[in-house]
Amino acid sequence: MERRDLFKGALAAGLLSAPQLSAQTAPTTEVVIERAVSGRPHTGKVLALVTPHLDDGPFFAGGTVTKLLGEGYTGVFIRTSNDEKDSYDLTLGETVLANERDAQSFLQVSGLKQMFDLGYRNHRMDDLAHTEIRARLIFLFRLLRVDTVFSYDPWGHYEENPDHYTTAQAVEAACWMAGGHLDMPEHFAAGLKPHSVSEKYYFARGPQLVNRVVDIGPTFETKLACLRACRTMVTHMIKDLNASLVERKLQLPALSAADRDAINEYTKMALETSDRATGRRFGLDYAEAFHYIGPDRSMDEYIARHAVPL
């Protein structure tokens, strides 16, 4: 059953009635197209890209993050895993270092100003205490006063990678709990204040409930550069592909050297295939798709009618 149908069924059965879901979290299937805006309307706001792996953000949200940074946001990157498993022929230790260096390149290309490495072991995050990851994220969300997060959809379907869904679930809970005055009150003695995250852009590798499509035509080239900065990981993809082709007695001449030209060719092919296909469905050249959850506006009308100045 598709998620959309599941919700329709649940609604019909009265399982998702208003008292259980606020306007903020009630799922919506209406798709909003987000386009570039002029000026820097987001000045003063902070976004955090929170992913286990270096290449997750560049693949699924690089165009939108670039767009929002250009419109005034300040951005940080929180990487939850150490990416120790993602290279083709390096040792585990060499892989950690290579991806760490690539992450610095990604930071420079993307315009994100700072990175926090939580350093959990790659492909083993489902073995962790979720409360620990959540606590570290709550601290960072309060410290950085994060308004908007980008992360994997905790309700995306058919996700194979435990790092993805473990991180996603921790992010979703931390966004909410960071606003609680009884959650980790020791933070307040250190000068922090409760601060919940009010906007979420969730992406997924498999099916998800999409309600926000972002036009990334103007930022597509920067997105490409962000993915190309993930040199070790992209080289891994290219060499895996080449090895599978050898088994079929084939080769792709443009990728056979696995050098900078091959990285350029592979990333262009990969992103043009995915982002052009998403864009075509919505009349755009290139697009990224998300499940977006915005600020809770359920009280706005009442406040507008009844609030008075202090």
The number of angstroms, rounded, from the C-alpha of 113 to the middle of its chain's C-alpha atoms is 16
Q: Which is nearer to Zn ion, 53 or 236 (CB)?
A: 53
Scanning 248-287, the segments in alpha helix (DSSP H) are 260-280
Long-range Cβ contacts of 133-139 (<8 Å, 24+ apart): 133/80, 133/166, 133/167, 133/170, 134/170, 134/173, 134/174, 134/177, 135/184, 137/50, 137/78, 137/170, 137/171, 137/174, 137/178, 138/174, 138/177, 138/178, 138/183, 138/184, 138/187, 139/184, 139/187, 139/192
Tell me the two tokens of residue 51.
Answer: 């992913």
Nearest-angstrom CA–CA distance, 176 and 156: 19
Report, in Å, the least distance between residue 54 CB and Zn ion: 8
Nearest-angstrom CA–CA distance, 102 and 86: 12
Q: Which is nearer to Zn ion, 47 or 233 (CB)?
A: 233
x/- track of binding to Zn ion for residues 1-40 (CB under 5 A): ----------------------------------------
Contact call for residue 53 and Zn ion (CB under 5 A): yes
Q: Which is nearer to Zn ion, 56 or 102 (CB)?
A: 56
Contact call for residue 159 and Zn ion (CB under 5 A): no
Report, in Å, the least distance between residue 157 CB and Zn ion: 16
Give 248's contacts (C-beta < 8 A, 6+ positions apart). none
Query: Which residue lies nearest Zn ion, judged by its C-beta?
Result: 53
Report, in Å, the least distance between residue 258 CB and Zn ion: 21
x/- track of binding to Zn ion for residues 103-132 (CB under 5 A): ------------------------------
Contact call for residue 228 and Zn ion (CB under 5 A): no
Question: In the beta sheet, which residues pair with residue 78?
Answer: 50, 116
The answer to whether the beta carbons of residues 158 and 206 sit under 8 Å apart is: yes
Report, in Å, the least distance between residue 114 CB and Zn ion: 21
Q: Which is nearer to Zn ion, 59 or 139 (CB)?
A: 59
Q: Which is nearer to Zn ion, 42 or 79 (CB)?
A: 79
Q: Which is nearer to Zn ion, 83 or 275 (CB)?
A: 83
Contact call for residue 56 and Zn ion (CB under 5 A): yes
Task: With contacts defined by CB under 5 A, name the span among 21-29, 45-53, 58-66, 299-307 that binds Zn ion.
Answer: 45-53
Q: Please report, as ranges, the residues that interact with Zn ion according to CB under 5 A.
A: 53, 56
